[in-house]
Structure formats: C-alpha cells, structure tokens
Amino acid sequence: MERHTYDVVVIGAGGAGLRAAIAAHESGARTAIVCKSLLGKAHTVMAEGGIAAAMGNRWPEDNWEVHFRDTMRGGKMLNNWRMAQLHAQEAPERVQELEDWGALFDRTDDGLISQRDFGGHKYARLAHVGDRTGLEMIRTLQQRAVALGIEVFMECTVTDIFKDASDGQSKVAGAFAYWRESGRFIVFDAPSVILATGGIGKSFKVTSNSWEYTGDGHALAMRAGASLINMEFVQFHPTGMVWPPSVKGLLVTESVRGDGGILKNSEGKRFMFDYIPEFFKAETADTVEEADAWYDDKKNNRRPPELLPRDEVARAINSEIKAGRGTPHGGIYLDIASRRTPEFIRKRLPSMYHQFKELADVDITAEPMEIGPTCHYVMGGVEVDADTQQSAVTGLYAVGECSGGMHGSNRLGGNSLGDLLVFGKRAGEAATAYADSLGGTRPQVDEADVKAAQASALAPFEVEGGENPYTIQSDLQQSMNDLVGIIRTRTELEESLAEIEAFKVRASTMVVEGHRQYNPGWHLALDLRNMLIVSECIAKAAMAREESRGGHTRDDFPGPDAEWGTKNLVVNLNAEGTGVDLHEKPLPEMPDELKGYFA
Ligand code: FAD
C-alpha cells in the first residue's frame, strides 16, 4: 500500500484548503493537499459575487466594527462572536495579500480594489472580479501553492481519519484514502489533519452545489469523535435557475440584485416591499422611489428590500410561489433587463449573461430570468476553536464551509470567501505549531485501523443482491428537499427521520458492480454514508429547534424565540456509531465592548 509521511495533511483544495496549505508550508511544515477532484476544480471556483472585506475603498466609513455588526445581525446573533470578529478584522489584509500574489481585481476609478453591494452588508464591501471572483481566487492560490512546491494528491478521496490513543489521549495520527482512478489505497501518516472539504448540498435535490458536496469532512470529523454545530441552518439561496430541468438549482448570483435587478411576481408586482421584517425595517427602503434612488445616492436613501439577507428573500419568494403568483416554470421573475443597459449587464455580469443564453436560451439584457430558491450553503459544520480552528479532537482542524459557528443561523453573501482566507491561514499556522510541539514523539497509525478502513471501503463489493447506491441517493435527495427544505414542520421532520432510518437500512446492503478501477458507483456508495449522517444531523437539529431563525424556518413555530437565541445545538455520533446524539450548548458570552455595537 502506498504510504506518505507529512506534518500537515490538508483535505480539500478549495479556497480554505489552499490557503491553509500555503500557511502550513510557510510556517515550515511538510505539507500535502489531498482533493477528490482535479486541482482547480473545487467549489470555490464557482463563487461569483466577491469577497467581503471592510477595506473602505468605496465607503471610507466602512470598518471591521460595521462588518462585524452586519455579520452578527445577518446570522441573527447566533454566530460565534469571536470568529465573526476575527473575520471582520483580518479579511482586508487577506484580500490585499491575494492581490500581492497576483489576483487581478476590478478597480475603482481611483485604482483601488473595487467593492460591490450585497445583501445584509451596510456598505459596498465585496472585492470582486466581474462575477468570476472564485475563479481568480483559486487561480491565485493554486499558482502560489504549486510555486511553493506543496505536494498535491488529486482525484484522491479520504475516507477515514486515524487516531492514536496509546498514551491515554486520543490524537490524530493520519488519514486513509483511495485513488479514484485505480481504486488503490493510500495511508498518510501525519499528526495534523485539516478538513477543508466544503459543504453538504448534494443531500438535497435542488442545489447550486456540485457532485463533490457530500459532507465528507462533516462525517469524517464525527467519526473521529468531533462534534458539529448549527446543523439545522441550511442556506437556501433565493435565486437559482428553475428552467430547463437539467440546470434547476444552478446559482444566479446575488450581484444581479446588487447591480439593480428586482424581483417580480406573475402579476408584475415588485413584491419584496410586502416582506420587510421588523428586525430590518429601520434600514430598508419602504417605497419604490427610495429603493431606486439608493443605487445613485446611498448616503441619503435606505437599501432596497431585494437586498435583505438571503433567508428573508428566499422565504418571500417561496410564499409568492405558494400563493400561486409564480412563473410558468414555478419560479419568480428577476428583472435587470428593464433597469440597466445591455452594455452594463454584459460588463458587470458576463457569466450570468452566458449562463442564461447558453443553458436557457434567455437573453438577460432583453427579458427577465425565472428563478427560485436553491440549497446553497450549510452554516453548520465542525465545532472548532475560534482562534485555531482545532476541533475537539487533538490534531484535527476544520476550515471553510465544513467548519461551523462563524455564520450563525445565516451567512451573508461574500462572507464565505473571506472566511476561507482568514481561517485557512489560521488553521495552517495552528496545525503546524501543534505538529512542531510534538518533537520526535508522534502519534502512530495502528495497522489494525488501516485494515479496518480498507475493509470498510471494500464492503460494498462484498454484498450480493443489494440495492444500487444511485437509487438510494436519489430517494434521499428528494426526501430532504420535500421534508427538510426551506419551510419545515414537526410532522414532516418526523417523517424525514423515519425515512433516513430506512435509507440507512437500505444503504447497509447496497451493492456495487464491477471492480475498483474508476468506478463511480463505488465512489457514490462511499460518499452516501457521509450524506446519510449529515442528513440525519440536519433533520434532528431542525426538529429540536422550535423557532424560526435564519436558515431554519418552522411553519409550526413561525417567529424567533428569545430563549432559543441563547443557545446552539451540537451533534455527535452516538456511542454505537449508528446514529446522532444532540445536545444544547449556551452561546459563548460576548464581551461588553462588542455588545455595545448592538445597543
Ligand atoms: P470547496 O471550494 O468546495 O473545496 C472542497 C474541496 O474538498 C475540493 O477540493 C474537494 O475535491 C475536496 N474534498 C471533498 N471531500 C473530499 C474527500 N473526502 N477527500 C478529498 N478531498 C475532498 N461565497 C462567497 O463568499 N462569495 C460568493 O460570491 C460566492 N458565490 C458562490 C457561488 C456558487 C455557485 C456557489 C455554489 C457558492 C458560492 N459561494 C460564495 C460559497 C463559497 O463558494 C463556498 O462556500 C466556498 O467556496 C467553499 O470553499 P471551501 O474551500 O470550504 O470548499
């Protein structure tokens, strides 16, 4: 079996993984990146709108305190305050650093990095490259990682984390993986492992996420003994494509609204004015005149309601569709054609222009788009220490979308890319410092664990007459969409948990045909185990939280509840490893000087 030794192994080559690997390498660690798709293909590449950072290039009034406040309010105060603070304080430096490494951002007239408006951000704050910011970010980080000589194992999937408990304290010892092409196994010996595997969107039928988002890091962490936090909070982005069916769920960037696009129902009504919640009334325009005036004079007008945080807009769209005021394909109209010139639209939103032209034969400079909510992002993830990103397991770190806490109950647009950079750097440095602190006495991988990981990976080949993993995955996706989607009820969540139990039974006897060389059925069978754990975490936490807040809406508990606003829900794998245990945990206490921002 192939075997490699490193100080730090980073699982994932999105923005979080690449930034963590660069930091680890620069801190002196022998570092490897392992990723299950090709290098450069990670989800981050799809990010469109930009990186939120209070650089103050358009608004000198902007600073970390305002960004911190916006982030906490966007997350309905359930965020880990320390993570939100570090993020707001350090994001500008991380963006500047990207530019120093060669990223070419759009510019203001004065030659500074341009910053655009996004929902929930008081000031124009998203550093961007047209609507292809993620591509530029990955290009820059990838070039740097390759130039530094960091080793990359691509098309290589990690299925287990090894630990060593021989000195009575359980610590990370390495990871187990397989090459997707050959099916052969690899063992990594390493005292520090950083999970940077992204999100969980593929548990839902309608999603903006790609095939890789099967919650691997979430599940790996749980199986290693770490806990997850905030799993009930799943972000349904308000604007995904609804037509044609083959692209249903594909993202339509929030920049369309940031650049002037408005939402209309089938009666032609600009309906968002009917959905301004009390919490945001003071800062949201309540007339068309004021909303439109804001685009030219932001100082003297309040923001349009189309730029409320995503959870609010997604719920409003859902209500309009349910009330029978949807479009022919079951969406709502997003109109920028009647508001901006074709030249402006093509310059500011080139990807959107091509996406609609090529995939739906719609010219967005001449006609409105049809859009609807799509599962986009998971706020929940591995519970980590705010400063180091270390999980409850010594030597196991999590960063980026697979970590939890930073975004509370709802993430603001642009805050993910900032999160990857800020906490990627911190995790890489902390993982290296820990590996260094061990000196010559490192945790050892137990050969019995290697054999067990191998047997577990090969188990689907041993079954006869079982079910195909594709059928189970498809049923799970439909079930999560129908029962744990944008609006939830106790009855449906109970039904969902019963269905997940049944899927688990079906998955225990699923069968894959053929052999180990590039076998997508086998790959899915392994991913499906992760999707099932993650789905159970979401459904269980959603059932426990009897209120509506951010990305969790309960029809039977329609408003926020002050008591629930003081606690998080934390989930762990149960002692038998067969299901999920859940407990409540009080929010960390915010220092008084920060509380002052919310007076
Ligand atoms: P990813 O970029 O997804 O990387 C995950 C990596 O983990 C991949 O390399 C994958 O191969 C690897 N991996 C997964 N499982 C395994 C395994 N078992 N073994 C080995 N490797 C594994 N956010 C913003 O802030 N601004 C935006 O404008 C924005 N636009 C977006 C547009 C779209 C269409 C989407 C879908 C998201 C957008 N987001 C945006 C969200 C943001 O892009 C993601 O949250 C972020 O990129 C996640 O980065 P990551 O590094 O955590 O994970």
Rama region for 386: left / alpha / beta (φ>0; ψ in -120 to 50; rest): alpha
Ligand 1 site, residue 197, Cβ cutoff 6 A? yes
The neighbouring-strand residues paired with 570 are 229, 583
* pLDDT for 560: 94
Atom of ligand 1 nearest to the CA of 424: 51
**Domains of the chain listed by start with CATH number:** 1-233+379-598 (3.50.50.60), 236-375 (3.90.700.10)
Cβ–ligand 1 contact at 130 (below 6 Å) = no
Across the range 562-589, mean pLDDT stands at: 96
Question: In the structure, what pLDDT confidence band is assigned to residue 254 with cuts at 50, 70 and 90?
Answer: confident
Query: Can you read off the two tokens belonging to residue 193?
Result: 């492992």
Tens digits of residue pLDDT in 174-225? 999 999 999 999 999 999 999 999 999 999 999 999 888 999 999 999 999 9
- Pocket probe mutation, ligand 1, options 9, 43, 45, max atoms within 8 Å of Cβ: 43
Residue 321 structure tokens: 């569709």
Ligand 1 pocket mutation, candidates 194, 417, 425, 531, criterion most atoms within 8 A of CB: 417
pLDDT value of residue 309: 84
Distance from Cα 14 to the centre of ligand 1, integer Å? 6
| pLDDT at residue 464, rounded to an integer | 84
Is 310 in the active site?
Answer: yes
CA of 185 relative to ligand 1 center, distance in Å: 25
Q: What is the overall mean pLDDT for the chain?
A: 95
Task: Provide the β-strand partners of residue 2.
Answer: 186
CA angle 486/487/488 to nearest 5° reads 120
Per-residue pLDDT tens over the stretch 100-128:
999 999 999 999 999 998 889 999 999 99
Which H/E stretch holds residue 445?
Answer: none
Q: Say yes or no: CB of residue 126 within 6 Å of ligand 1.
A: no
Mean pLDDT of 234-261: 92
Binding site membership of 47 for ligand 1 (Cβ less than 6 Å): yes
Q: Which of 180, 310, 506, 516 is catalytic?
A: 310
Cα 370 to Cα 335: distance, rounded to the nearest angstrom: 9
Q: What is the average pLDDT across 424-438?
A: 98
CA-only gyration radius of the chain, Å: 23
Q: Which atom of ligand 1 is nearest to the CA of 39?
A: 9
Atom of ligand 1 nearest to the CA of 138: 2
Question: Who has greater pLDDT, 131 or 158?
Answer: 158
Measured from the Cα of 177, ligand 1's closest atom is 19
